[in-house]
Structure 1
Amino acid sequence: MDDISTSALFIILGVLVLLSGYFSSSETGIMSINRYRLRHLVKEKHKSAQRVDELLKRPDRLIGLILIGNNLVNIAASAVATVLGMRLLGDAGIVVATFALTLVILIFAEVTPKTLAALYPEKIAFPSSVILKLLLKILFPVVVTVNWITNGMLKLIGVSPEQIEEHSLSKEELKTVLNESGAMLPTNHQDMMTSILDLDHVTVEDIMIPRNEINAIDINDDWKDISKKLTNAQHTRVLLYRDQIDDAVGFIHSRDALRLLTKEQFDKPSLLRAVREIYYIPESTSLNTQLLKFQQNKERIGLVVDEYGDIQGLVTLEDILEEVVGDFTTTKTPAPSDEVDVQNDGSVMVDGGANVRDLNKEMRWHLPTEGPKTLSGLIVEHLEDIPQTQLGLKIAGYPMEVVEIKENMIKVVKVYPHKKKKSVKPH
């Protein structure tokens, strides 16, 4: 380097630092690129994305190539800086050049380019992939040799570079991605997708209409009463039973009932002939599974039974869809539930038979949902006894008071606002 002028050495040193910054930014940009967006762009035939995806198929070769290039330019820069230091400062220039070059490389070839690449990975990775692919072809023998040595060392500790870990997301991780999507997805879309992911964790028992609330008709009632109930039925399908609901006969579609009511000769035998077979659902069936079964069996309604075959409730396709998209309503703003009455002081009067999951959704509470399905059942489980008088208690941080008890059942509960603990400031 004695024949090269000092100014030329400074130019060479500057170019080497820039090359070092290029390799550093390329490594960070390609490695931090969003793999799912990359796969989407590959499917869209994006050429730059296809180049990056091809390089990432063998990350050992990519990293080997980048590190070979980075180390070459850094060592060359060190040699040039040493020569410049000795020319300008003599032997003391070696020490000065070492510290000065370390600072320059750290700022201009490491921290700055890597930070930029981490913030804008696609803008760095896509153009740099052109040069990297060309360099890989030129330096392929060197890269393969280095990889052969390093891969051999990795195999000694039981690691195979060919076995690339698949970048798959668990349900919880996917929910985090949805929640962190921000303005990219509307809030209602985020809620719907999150609800779909939660269908596996919710069973038909959690959303069913309890057996004591099923709107059904006893076929052994007086014929005039049956006709009146069919005429005033508010549901598309009505359950018929004999004496008790466990002896269910089947469902009658309101359309079929109205058609029969227009005929002159309409009696119980003709009504029973129009009844449709009952579709039974085990109470432990997840909503995700039941949604598929409804689709496969072309059913929209079923009776939920326990392990002994006793009827526990009723569930419809609409109930499952409401878990995903929210309650269906004909008004622009859904009406408050009949089971909830908000008082002026902020407390809430709640029907004891209210479903805990529905209360959590409507009131944005966080009552435990594992175990009893109703608020009454939750209180009884907490107390390990059926209260006989009014009393106060606290569940999951929510103060509440049992207001009314009837026939060994909690009818009304008063839930007070959830108070968060305030930190006490030191005087």
Structure 2
Amino acid sequence: MDDISTSTLFIILGVLIVLSAYFSGSETGMMSVNPYRLKHLTNAKNKAALRVTQLLKRPDRLIGLILIGNNLVNIFASTVATIIGVRLYGDYGVAIAPIVLTVVILIFAEVTPKTLAALHPEKVALPTSAVLSVLLKIFYPFVWALNKVTNGLLNLLGVSPERHQGNSLSAEELRTVVYEAGALIPEQHQNMLVGVLDLENATVEDIMIPRNEIVGIDINDEWKDIERQLANFQYSRILLYRDNIDDAIGFVHPRELMRLLIKEQLTKASLLRAASEIYFIPEGTPLNTQLLKFQGAKDRIGLVVDEYGDIQGLVTLADILEEVVGEFTTDIAEDTNEDILAQPDGTFLIDGSINLRDLNREMKMAFPTDGPKTLNGLILEYLEEIPQGQLCVKLAGYPMEIVDVQDNMIKSVRLLVNPKKAAAKKSAH
């Protein structure tokens, strides 16, 4: 390079530093690009996104290409810088050039481009993919040879680039992504998305109407009593049974009831003929599974039975959907939970039969739900006996007073603290 002027060498060095910055930024941009955003652009047939996707299918080849280019450029830059140093400072230039070049490369060819690429990976990765695709074809023999050696070492460690699975998320990771989306996804939509993920963690027992709360009509009652019950029935399906719930007959849709009334044929016999076959649900069925079963069976309601065939409760499609979209009601005036009553002294009177999942959701509490499903069941499990009168206990950190016990059940409990205010006060500290 003796025939090349010093000013020309400076130009060459500047070009080499720019190329080094390009390879450094390309590496960070390609590896930092959002895989789901990239998938979206690929589905939209974006040509640049298709190139990036193709390159990322074999990250070993992409990294090999970038490192070959980056190292070649840096080595040439070191050589040019040394020549410039010798020309300007003589023998001292041999020591000065590497120090100055290291600082320049770190600032302009490493930290700056990589930071820029990390902050805006798509803006870097998409345009640079065109050049990288061409370079990969040109240097493919060198990349192939390099990958043969490195992949051999990786295989010894039990890693295979050919079987690279890409990016995947577990349900817990996806839940974190939804919450971290912040303002990009409204809070209501976040809760709905998380509700879908939570369906696999809950079973029909968690949301069913328990057996003792199932409302139906005993077909063996007097007809006048049955007519009065039909006139005041408030549910979307009418359960018919003989003497007790265990001898359930079927469900009658109000539409069928109206059809019988119009034809003036409403009798016990016609009511029985209008009853549809009962859909039975095994206890322990996950909600996501039951949702698909309801869809497949074209049904909206079913009775939950245990391993002995005994009826344990009732589940509807609306109950499952409420786990996703939140509670909804057909009664406009109904805006409070009758199982939770706020008291003037700041405590809450809670029905013992309340579902723990509903209690946790309504009061922002954290009672365990992997055992008993109701507050009554949780307290009885803790006490290991049925209390004979008023008693104070502390469960999951919440002090409460057992107010009323009837028929071997805890009917009402007084929560002695406001969990919402306590949680807010705790977060403030």
Q: Which moved more, 1:180-189 or 1:106-115?
A: 180-189
Q: Match of 2:367, SS?
A: coil
Matched ranges for 1:24-39 at <5 A: 24-39=24-39
Shift, 1:263, TM fit: 5.3
RMSD across aligned positions (CA): 2.0
The 1:141/1:267 distance shift into structure 2, 3 A limit, reads closer
Aligned partner of 1:417 in structure 2 is 418
- The alignment partner of 1:369 has SS state of coil
Alpha-carbon distance in structure 1 between the residues aligned to 2:85 and 2:333: 76
Report the Cα distance in structure 2 between the residues aligned to 1:334 and 1:124, rounded to whole angstroms. 54
Q: Is the CA contact 1:29–1:122 (under 8 Å) kept in the aligned structure 2?
A: yes
Q: What amino acid maps onto 2:346 in structure 1?
A: G
1:154 maps to: 154
Q: Aligned letter for 1:113?
A: P
Offset at residue 262 of structure 1 (A): 5.2
Q: Offset of 1:218 from its aligned partner? A: 1.4
Superposition pairs for residues 6-17 of structure 1, below 5 Å?
Answer: 6-17=6-17
Q: What is the distance in 1 between the residues matched to 2:334 and 2:41?
A: 41
Query: How much has 1:166 moved relative to structure 2?
Result: 3.0
Distance 1:194 1:333 in 2: 28
Q: Distance in 1 between matches of 2:218 and 2:109?
A: 83
What amino acid does structure 1 have at the position aligned with 2:198?
D
Q: How far apart in 2 are the matches of 1:195 and 1:75? A: 55
Summarize the alignment of residues 189-228 of structure 1 with structure 2, pairs less than 5 Å apart. 189-228=189-228
Give CA-to-partner distance per residue, 1:181-218, whole Å, 9 cap, x none: 12222221111111111111111111111111111111
Is contact 1:240-1:249 (8 Å) kept?
Answer: yes
1:124-177 superposed Cα distances (whole Å, 9 cap, x missing partner): 111111111121222222222222232233334443321212322111111111
The CA deviation at 1:329 is: 2.8
Which residue pairs with 2:367 in the alignment? Answer: 367
Instruction: Please list the CA deviations of residues 354-400 of structure 1 after superposition, one character each: whole Å capped at 9, or x if unmatched.
Output: 11111111122111111111111111111222111212121111121
CA contact (8 A) 1:151 1:160 kept: yes
Q: Distance in 2 between matches of 1:170 and 1:236?
A: 37
TM-score, with length taken from structure 1:
0.94
Secondary structure of 1:314's counterpart equals strand
Cα drift, residue 285 of structure 1: 0.9
Q: Is the 8 A contact 1:389 1:405 kept in 2?
A: yes
Aligned residue for 1:84?
84
Secondary structure, aligned partner of 2:161: coil
Change (3 A) 1:238 1:422: closer
Change (3 A) 1:73 1:407: same
Distance in structure 1 (CA, Å) of the matches to 2:133 and 2:156: 30
Equivalent positions of 1:234-245 (< 5 A) are: 234-245=234-245
Letter in 2 for 1:8: T
| Alpha-carbon distance in 2 for matches of 1:264, 1:153 | 85
Q: Hey, what's the Cα distance between the residues in 2 that align with 1:115 and 1:150? A: 27
- Return the alpha-carbon distance in structure 2 between the equivalents of residues 256 and 74 of structure 1: 82
Give distance in 2, aligned partners of 1:280 and 1:422: 45
1:356/1:157 Cα in 2 relative to 1: closer, same or farther (>3 Å)?
closer
Offset of residue 332 of structure 1: 7.5
How many Å separate the matches in 2 of 1:277 and 1:388? 43
Alignment-derived partner of residue 398 in structure 1 = 398
Specify the code of the residue in structure 1 equivalent to 2:110.
E
Decide which moves more: 93-102 or 226-235.
Answer: 93-102
In proportion to residue count, which structure has more helix? 2
The more displaced of 271-280 and 38-47 is 271-280
Which residue does 2:19 correspond to in 1?
19
Task: Give TM-score scaled by structure 2 length.
Answer: 0.94
Partners of 2:117 and 2:134 in 1: CA distance: 21
2:166 counterpart of 1:166: yes
1:347 aligns with 2:317: no
The one-letter amino acid paired with 1:172 is E
Query: Helix, strand or coil: the match of 1:179?
Result: helix
The 1-side partners of 2:180 and 2:324 are apart by: 19
Distance 1:259 1:143, change over 3 A: closer
Question: Gaps spanning 5+ residues in structure 2: where?
Answer: none
Paired letter, 2:17: V
| Structure 1 residue 27 displacement after superposition | 0.4
Letter aligned with residue 294 of structure 1: F
- Inter-partner Cα distance in structure 1 for 2:58 and 2:261: 73
* SS of residue paired to 1:2: coil
Q: Contact between 1:230 and 1:254, CA under 8 Å: does it hold in 2?
A: no
In 2, Cα distance between equivalents of 1:286 and 1:141: 54
Structure-2 separation of matches of 1:180 and 1:286: 27
Q: State the AA in 2 paired with 1:290.
A: Q
In the alignment, the residues of structure 2 paired with residue 166 and residue 128 of structure 1 have an alpha-carbon distance, to the nearest angstrom, of 21
Q: Secondary structure at the match of 1:162?
A: helix
Q: CA–CA distance in 2 between the matches of 1:215 and 1:33?
A: 56
Taking structure 1 as reference, are residues 319 and 156 closer, same or farther at Cα in structure 2, changes over 3 Å only? closer
What is the CA–CA distance in structure 2 between the aligned matches of 1:138 and 1:100, rounded to whole Å?
A: 32
Q: 2:114 aligns to what? A: 114
Q: Which amino acid aligns with 1:232?
A: N
Q: C-alpha separation between the residues in 1 aligned to 2:323 and 2:158? A: 47
- Aligned-partner Cα distance in 2 for 1:330–1:234: 10
- C-alpha separation in 2, matches of 1:119 and 1:373: 47
Task: Out of 253-262 and 37-46, give the one that drifted further.
Answer: 253-262
Provide the C-alpha distance between the structure 2 equivalents of 1:108 and 1:346, rounded to a whole number of angstroms: 63
Q: CA deviation at 1:239?
A: 1.0
Aligned residues with identical type, % of pairs: 64
Q: Matches of 2:71 and 2:119 in 1, distance apart?
A: 24
The range that moved more, 363-372 or 263-272, is 263-272
Change (3 A) 1:91 1:332: farther
CA distance in 2, matches of 1:334, 1:189: 23
227-236 or 157-166, which deviates more:
157-166
Q: Which amino acid aligns with 1:62?
A: L
Q: Report 1:282-361 matches (<5 A).
A: 282-330=282-330, 335-361=335-361
